[in-house]
A and B are shown apart, each in its own frame.
Chain A
């Protein structure tokens, strides 16, 4: 009885305020699309980084098993003695530049690889033997990359000294700026959404003033009086968030999976799975928005 009655009130309220409700749906849709886009950009950055990215500046990849183009790898896979010699060099010659050294064995590299590419890499099936052991170096001063690289490059057992940041940092900076932009727009739109939901609830409350007046007088509880308004705002906002989730899903499906992934295929991209991971978050944000606006409005317009 109660449930049915409240639902009836909600739908009659939505019908009475159709234009406002549509406005709320659209504004939350747009604002949450920006929120979701920002989240997806950050997820994309996460996909591009490997586990070491935030920890180290320089990766020294050791000679792999089998063939390698580097002349320093003519002797085949790096031996334990060569690794020990490299560590010694780092300890003595680079003691001022390098603060920490980690050794990643082939087994550890394979483990990290499988975690990052659970479905294999570009359709190839790699094994532990295809992996490369490496020394990961954290520097005391990030600017000293060139010095470290000069000292270690070309030594026996070293295939290549790599500074991944040099490659990825500009890209990440772009993605981060895009995220900030999305977040800024999202912020403005979210503010608009809150104001709009507030206005909608207020209009709805005014147009049903007679009903709420009678409800108060016959002793309906506060919750019972306010619930229809709360649900109205929440329903509209959730509808907007679902639209935002759907929009992001379509965008990722057609722009990333169907197009980007085919044209530039050596990068790991965000996928529909990531959108599904973000979507519940958007719904939560929508509900929070509606709750926030209701909290500010209802106590003023439907007081006992």
Chain B
């Protein structure tokens, strides 16, 4: 469903690559966690799938398409098969929940009767039945994320990309969101989720791909989050924070990097 073949992405000439020779294969219907520190390349990975970026080298296939060589006017067709969810929900504040979800169908030209039928169905599925007329500000964080997920899946995408969907939510609410994503996954949708949330990863026991400095350092079929300290180094005692992307690391900086 998603296939990365030796993909490298360099944003600025001479800088350290955001992704370096990454090869990953995600099967149809899989649920994959993408873990790693900030700057490890998770977001680049997702934006390559969405074709917001093109790889510097290598090939990216999404739903059978060679995304890197996709011409501009075909990009919308690709994105109609993808759903995206973000940490900050990105709901339109001046529209109700129903309008927010309907918006995704309106702008790709779906007929009105389709919208009338599908939107309540999806809102019901994500557990927002009865809250269609609320504005995003009148919802809790978890409910807002459910609305955002409803918007992402209302066009029945084959793949759902989630960029730290639980990053702004408390553990209990996060669990609810994860149950929802799991349910969506069980209907056959491939889910790729970038996250920092070790509890969730450890509990779900799904495939885990760990990125570090743009390199895949681990790919486990039903893995845990891994050692938290290894992925998110505790730099409390260190006077120097390494800035991701600069490529120059002070040799004096103590790195706890291992595994």
Does residue B112 face the partner (Cβ distance < 8 Å to A)? yes
Task: Judge whether B79 and A217 touch: CB under 8 Å.
Answer: yes
Task: Judge whether B103 and A214 touch: CB under 8 Å.
Answer: yes
Chain A interfacial residues counted at CB < 8 A: 18
Task: Judge whether A218 and B72 touch: CB under 8 Å.
Answer: no
Task: Judge whether B80 and A1 touch: CB under 8 Å.
Answer: no
What residue of chain A has the Cβ atom nearest to residue B51's Cβ?
A: A304
Segment of A118-126, A219-227, A252-260 engaged in the interface with chain B: A219-227
Does residue B77 face the partner (Cβ distance < 8 Å to A)? yes
Task: Judge whether A217 and B84 touch: CB under 8 Å.
Answer: yes
Does residue B50 face the partner (Cβ distance < 8 Å to A)? yes
Does residue B111 face the partner (Cβ distance < 8 Å to A)? yes
Name B76's contact: one of A1, A5, A210, A220 (CB within 8 Å): A220
| Chain A hits for B110, CB < 8 A | 1
B91 to chain A minimum Cβ distance, whole angstroms, is 9
Task: Judge whether B78 and A219 touch: CB under 8 Å.
Answer: yes
Name A213's contact: one of B75, B81, B82, B90 (CB within 8 Å): B90
Does residue B14 face the partner (Cβ distance < 8 Å to A)? no
Task: Judge whether A1 and B108 touch: CB under 8 Å.
Answer: no
Q: Mark A207-247, 1 if CB is under 8 A from B, else 0.
A: 00011011111111110110000000000000000000000
Task: Judge whether B111 and A219 touch: CB under 8 Å.
Answer: no
Q: Would A5 and B72 be within 8 Å (CB), given that A210-B92, A219-B77 are in contact? A: no
| Chain B hits for A224, CB < 8 A | 107-109
Task: Judge whether A221 and B90 touch: CB under 8 Å.
Answer: no
Residues 61 to 98 of chain B near chain A (Cβ within 8 Å): 72-73, 75-82, 84, 90, 92
Most-contacted residue by chain A among B50, B107, B112 (CB, 10 A): B107
Task: Judge whether A222 and B72 touch: CB under 8 Å.
Answer: yes
| Chain A hits for B73, CB < 8 A | 221-222
Task: Judge whether A216 and B92 touch: CB under 8 Å.
Answer: no
Name A220's contact: one of B81, B92, B107 (CB within 8 Å): B107
Residues 1 to 49 of chain A near chain B (Cβ within 8 Å): 1-2, 5
Inter-chain CA distance A217–B108, complex, in Å, is 11
Does residue B155 face the partner (Cβ distance < 8 Å to A)? yes
Task: Judge whether B90 and A210 touch: CB under 8 Å.
Answer: yes
Task: Judge whether B104 and A214 touch: CB under 8 Å.
Answer: yes
Inter-chain CA distance A230–B78, complex, in Å, is 25
Most-contacted residue by chain A among B75, B76, B79, B92 (CB, 10 A): B76
Does residue B106 face the partner (Cβ distance < 8 Å to A)? yes
Task: Judge whether B50 and A217 touch: CB under 8 Å.
Answer: yes
B228 to chain A minimum Cβ distance, whole angstroms, is 31
| Chain B hits for A218, CB < 8 A | 79-80, 104, 107-108, 151, 155
What residue of chain A has the Cβ atom nearest to residue B86's Cβ?
A: A217
| Chain A hits for B81, CB < 8 A | 219
Task: Judge whether A304 and B107 touch: CB under 8 Å.
Answer: no
Some 23 contacts from A to B, beta carbons below 8 A apart, are A1-B106, A1-B111, A1-B112, A5-B106, A5-B107, A211-B92, A211-B103, A213-B90, A214-B90, A214-B107, A217-B50, A217-B79, A218-B80, A218-B151, A219-B78, A219-B79, A219-B82, A220-B76, A221-B73, A221-B108, A224-B108, A225-B107, A304-B72
A214-B103, A219-B81 are known; give 7 further A-B pairs, CB within 8 A: A5-B107, A217-B79, A218-B79, A218-B104, A220-B76, A222-B73, A304-B76
